[in-house]
Amino acid sequence: MENNKPTTGKVALKYGIILGLIGITFNLMLYFQDLHYQIDMSRIFLALGLGVVLTIIASILGILEFRKANNGFISFPEGLKIGVGATLISGVIGIIFGFVLAHVIDPDMTDKAIEYSTNMMLESGMDPEMVEKQIESQKDPNYVLQIAGGLIFNLFIGFVGTLIPALALKKSEPQY
């Protein structure tokens, strides 16, 4: 007889792809409005808040799907694996799309971002020498550090955003 027990990996993959596609859609909306390179604190907080809310929703949906397929049971570690796994997968998708956006779709994106940042710093009254130092550091990015930092940040958001849903929705099998 075949074992039809669901796996956390399949559920995490499904919701990770969904989260990744939502992220791509959001970034395409910014691109079509020519806002994809304009980074300021309000946009960062908006994107972060939206990401946390979407992570929580995806975690809840994934946990409920797994629990339903698992005869109504799910452990806390299984719930956590689903949420963190989904955010890891969506993070990889986001990084790949970000690379395609910056190097294929809009190869001038980095130059636009540097010009925008320069203007923002100068308008805020920053010393021109400090602005020049900041701009020089942006011209030669360390992609390995950016990718690693992005994935670690996604994992952290996934962990934090999944803690409460995984605890609230866990249901252990009775021990006989």
The answer to whether 73 touches 173, Cβ cutoff 8 Å, is yes
Q: What is the pLDDT of residue 62?
A: 97
Domain that holds residue 90: 8-169
Element (H, E) at 70: none
Q: What is the pLDDT of residue 1?
A: 44
Q: Does residue 94 sit within a domain?
A: yes
Q: What is the pLDDT of residue 174?
A: 83
**How many domains does the chain divide into?**
1
Q: Does residue 158 sit within a domain?
A: yes
Q: Does residue 37 sit within a domain?
A: yes
Provide the β-strand partners of residue 74: 171
Q: Does residue 175 sit within a domain?
A: no
Q: Does residue 149 sit within a domain?
A: yes
Q: Does residue 35 sit within a domain?
A: yes
Q: Does residue 161 sit within a domain?
A: yes
- The neighbour count for residue 95, using CB atoms within 10 Å, is 17
The answer to whether 81 touches 163, Cβ cutoff 8 Å, is no
For the chain of 176 residues, list the mean pLDDT of each consecutive stretch of 10.
77 97 92 77 83 94 96 95 96 94 88 82 83 78 87 93 94 83
- pLDDT tens-place string over residues 39-61: 777 878 888 899 899 999 999 99
Q: What is the pLDDT of residue 3?
A: 61
Q: Does residue 2 sit within a domain?
A: no
Q: Which residues of 25-43 are buried (b: 16+ CB within 10 A; e: fewer)?
A: ebbeebeeeeebbeeeeee
